[in-house]
Chain A
Amino acid sequence: MSQELLEKMAQSIIDGDADLAAELARQAIAEGLDPLFVITNGYVPGINKVGEAFGAGEAFLPELVMAGEAMKAAVVVLEPELLRKGSERKTLGKVVMATVEGDIHEIGKSLVSTMLSAAGFTVYDMGVDNPSDKIIEKALEVDADIIGLSALLTTTMIRQKEVIDKLDARGLRKKIKVMVGGAPVTREWVQKIEADGYSEDAIGAVAVAKKLMGIEA
């Protein structure tokens, strides 16, 4: 197994070079490398590094977006091979991600989706402005383990509570965990609405989701 290739893969993500990331993925397939292995040990360390630098204020949003695009480009190449080998990447859990009703803020929610996907979660990103019932229906449809709710307005945060209350009313609270985030969300709010998890940023969100799944971070 070529350590050099894995390092190149990580670097292609750090550089946000989608073409190179895809090229290296094709190379890995040609060399008969296990696609799952190269995702986990090549590309994921790259995106984690960008995510950490972003969290520390050393990398900036466009770099994180580019890294996410490069990650996607590599996975697109590797996916058919994964399926062919029947060694589909074992998911850490299924997460439905949504910005709540009345709120059209997209960026934070999409970053969390990218980081969760990279870490090995199966993510269903519903986009913005989602009514609570629609989110719950989606979670039931895909048999989700976690619902992630983004709200960026004090007037829409209440929808996070609404989703939790509706899950409660339907007896789904134990089955589906809820993690919340967004600029106005505070720890006090999280405690008050009894959400299961909260993170201030996208990197933290991965650790929170792992914890909710009972996985050591």
Chain B
Amino acid sequence: MHTVLKGKSKDVIIGPDKPFVIIGEKINPTGNKKLAAALTEGNYPLALTLAQRQIAWGADVLDVNVGVPDLDEVTAIRSLVALLAEQVDLPLCIDSNSPQVLEAGLSVAPGKPLVNSVSAEERSLNAILPIVKDRNAAVIGLTISESGIPKTAEERLALAEKILERAAQKGIPAEDVIIDPVVMTVGSDSKAALVTLQTIELLRREFGVNISLGASNVSFGLPDRHTANQVFLAMAIQAGATCAITDPIKLGQTVRAADLMLGKDDFAMRYIKYFRAAEKRRQEEQLAQSAKP
């Protein structure tokens, strides 16, 4: 199954036979005080720089989140998405759990954007799916219900089915629904990653839908998070995940390595190209850093 996203001038196809798609996570003010302050002041150059840096490091889609307490997020997302729509070729992923913010972002997003996200909760399904349909967007569906995040893969599969059914009733086809089987940290439950991996396999087998992950969550509370993140991402890709909301700067090479191991990279050209480009960028960024007073 292929999910097609469209940006100003670039299309991205997500699917099991395609290279793994990275949705760059860095335009998000949670935990980024500079970005939070800039967004509050209505200053968007920093967000644009983050967009360009992620693209340079191999992002395929850009997630856009303007969640700052007390900020008029409707206005902020409209301004920022409009700017990105002008300056960036890639498809955008509008990220909020507020229907008004999503609508505002979608109204100015180019092409065919992605919505992050809907859950299997009634209030979410009822509020978000009509917005997705109106804009003919695609949507990420989180396997979370009113009673929380299920402990077993079977229960998460049932929630995915509910989201797919409700989307279909609204006229949103399965290829426009990307299921996120929820990644919890192995820091507090050592079976957490395993349940997610099992859910990915079930989803692939039962529905054949595209599968996304918020991959960095898995290592919360652990030392050497990078190693844990890399290994989990590779295992998830093997299990059937087709895209992830993550940091392209840290994980771009890992993703290309996983694609290569799965026979999706003839003569390792993407892997090698990425390596060369990354080396160059590292040098450039170091130079730029040392040039600062």
Contact = CB atoms under 8 A, between A and B. Distances in A.
Interface of A: 60-62, 64-65, 102, 104, 106-107, 110, 128-129, 153-155, 157-158, 183-184, 186, 189, 192
A104 B148 contact: yes
The 10 closest A-B pairs by CB, nearest first: A61-B221, A154-B67, A61-B187, A157-B69, A154-B69, A184-B30, A107-B188, A65-B188, A155-B97, A189-B69
A211 B69 CA distance: 27
Interface in B1-57: 29-31
B96 interface: yes
Contacts of B198: none
Contacts of B144: 104
B185 A155 contact: no
23 contacts: A60-B187, A60-B221, A61-B185, A61-B187, A61-B220, A62-B186, A62-B188, A62-B190, A62-B222, A65-B187, A65-B188, A102-B97, A104-B149, A106-B188, A107-B185, A107-B187, A107-B221, A129-B146, A153-B67, A153-B97, A154-B67, A155-B98, A183-B30
B293 interface: no
Interface residues of B, number: 23
Contact of B223 (A60, A110, A192): A60
Nearest to B71: A154
B68 interface: yes
A107 B69 contact: no
B266 interface: no
Contact of B70 (A65, A129, A153, A192): A192
Interface string B147-167: 011000000000000000000
Contacts of B190: 62
A183 B190 CA distance: 23
Could you tell me the dominant secondary structure of chain B's interface residues?
Answer: loop
Interface string B202-225: 000000000000000000111100
Contacts of A186: 69
Given A104-B148, A107-B185, A154-B68, A61 B97 contact: no
Given A61-B221, A104-B148, A183 B31 contact: yes
A107 B220 contact: yes
Contacts of A157: 69
B222 A158 contact: no
B148 A129 contact: yes
A60 B97 contact: no
B148 A62 contact: no
Contact of A158 (B30, B69, B148): B69
Nearest to B29: A154
A192 B70 CA distance: 10
A186 B222 CA distance: 24
Nearest to B186: A62
Contacts of A106: 188
Given A62-B222, A154-B69, 8 more contacts: A60-B222, A62-B187, A104-B149, A107-B188, A128-B148, A155-B67, A183-B31, A186-B69
Nearest to B146: A129
Given A60-B222, A62-B221, A192-B70, A155 B96 contact: yes
A158 B73 CA distance: 13
A26 to B, nearest CB: 28
Q: Chain A CB within 10 Å — which of B70, B98, B220 has the most?
A: B70
Contacts of A183: 30-31
Interface in B212-249: 220-223
A205 B102 CA distance: 35
A13 to B, nearest CB: 17
Contacts of B31: 183-184
Contacts of A64: 221
Contacts of B221: 60-62, 64, 107
Contacts of A62: 186-188, 190, 221-222
Contacts of B187: 60-62, 65, 107
B69 A184 contact: yes
A196 B144 CA distance: 32
Contacts of B185: 61, 107
Interface string B176-201: 00000000011110100000000000
